[in-house]
A and B are shown apart, each in its own frame.
Chain A
Amino acid sequence: MIERVGIFAGAALAAFLSITTLGRADTVSYADAVTTLAKGCGSDIKRFCNGQNLGNGRIKACLEKNASKVSPTCTSTLGSVMTSIAQRQEAQASVFKVCQHDISQYCNGVKGDGNILSCLVETKRVDNRECNQAITDAGWR
């Protein structure tokens, strides 16, 4: 019985890790995110959102306002693109917090965010998986 619980826990952990990894694999650059938006929604934007701009959520608001008319591809694209932009922003905002321990351990005295990042990336001893992953998710490799 104990063994079985162990196997179950192991399977659950494996499933959890694979889900987490999948979620992380979705972090894409801003350029790739909006390229997807242009491909999936470009014709709808031209049709329904003439003169509207990318800034201040206006394209998003316009496509949502015309939800009954825009293509289903565009509707699902819009959702996933907005999510991936938000994920990238979160990842970038979290790096220096997640890596704080490694920074004080290996890059103590290094000045400037760019230099600290280079130090982290170059320091092979940074063995904190979360810090490594955060740098990858931020797109800073």
Chain B
Amino acid sequence: MAKDRGNKMIVQGLRISVALGLLFAPCVASAQQLDNSQIMSTLAQMKSAAPAVDVALLVEEANANVGKGVAALPNWSKLSELSQLIVEIDFENNSTAIEPESYRTVGLIADALHHPDLFRYKFLIVGHSSATGSAKHNLELSQKRADAINEALSTTFAVSPDRLFSIGAGEEWPIDPGHPESADNRRVQLINLGLLK
């Protein structure tokens, strides 16, 4: 079933950025065509010294610092040390509805999370926006969008909900800080939070 036809879409729909994944995935290049095994090899690398992250504290910090950025905050800064990748998932304008063109990307994540190599791990979905619109609205919308990806993975694709967490970063952590309104800043981070307890 349409096994080869999705290749073009994957180039548009799934970009991986060097900036944040670099530490754990030195071989990953930008704008690269990704497949399931590449997603897995990136996410399965887990350092034993990886810091524990409390998602409730991330929410607290983000809400208390709207418009001031999150990258340097004590809990958010821990995220940079974790194994992760960045994907592009497009949504309808000002909505939490994932564009059909991005279904494949969500499916690729589902395939990876269902592989036995990743069974034991829990994951954080972080939604990011560009700086168009108000910072507070962007924070709220990106949280809802991250939740929508979480919901799709845990219902349609039956990933166990206790392995999934989602949070919005709004415009607070641009990948291109020199151009906060750039569309490149709209992205989704998928972060390995470590072993399920």
Contact = CB atoms under 8 A, between A and B. Distances in A.
A binds B: yes
Interface of A: 26, 28-39, 41-42, 45-46, 49-57, 80, 84-85, 89, 92, 112-114, 116-117, 139-140
Given A55-B148, A55-B155, A57-B156, A33 B116 contact: no
Most buried by B among A36, A51, A54: A54
Interface residues of B, number: 39
A88 B36 CA distance: 15
B146 to A, nearest CB: 12
Interface in B104-162: 104-108, 110-111, 114-120, 148, 151-158
Contact of A92 (B96, B114, B153): B114
Given A52-B97, A54-B152, A36 B110 contact: no
Nearest to B116: A113
Given A31-B104, A38-B9, 17 more contacts: A29-B36, A30-B111, A31-B110, A33-B1, A35-B6, A38-B101, A38-B103, A42-B100, A45-B100, A50-B92, A53-B151, A54-B148, A57-B156, A80-B1, A112-B120, A113-B116, A114-B120
Contacts of A56: 151, 155-156
17 contacts: A28-B1, A30-B110, A30-B114, A31-B110, A32-B3, A33-B1, A33-B107, A38-B9, A42-B101, A53-B152, A54-B98, A56-B151, A89-B158, A113-B116, A113-B119, A117-B116, A139-B36
Nearest to A28: B1
B95 interface: yes
B197 interface: no
Contact of A30 (B44, B97, B157): B157
A51 B97 CA distance: 5
Contacts of B72: none
Contacts of A39: 2, 5
Given A30-B110, A54-B156, A46 B116 contact: no
A45 B102 CA distance: 13
Contacts of A114: 44, 115-120
Nearest to B107: A31
Contact of B103 (A29, A34, A57, A89): A34
A29 B106 CA distance: 12
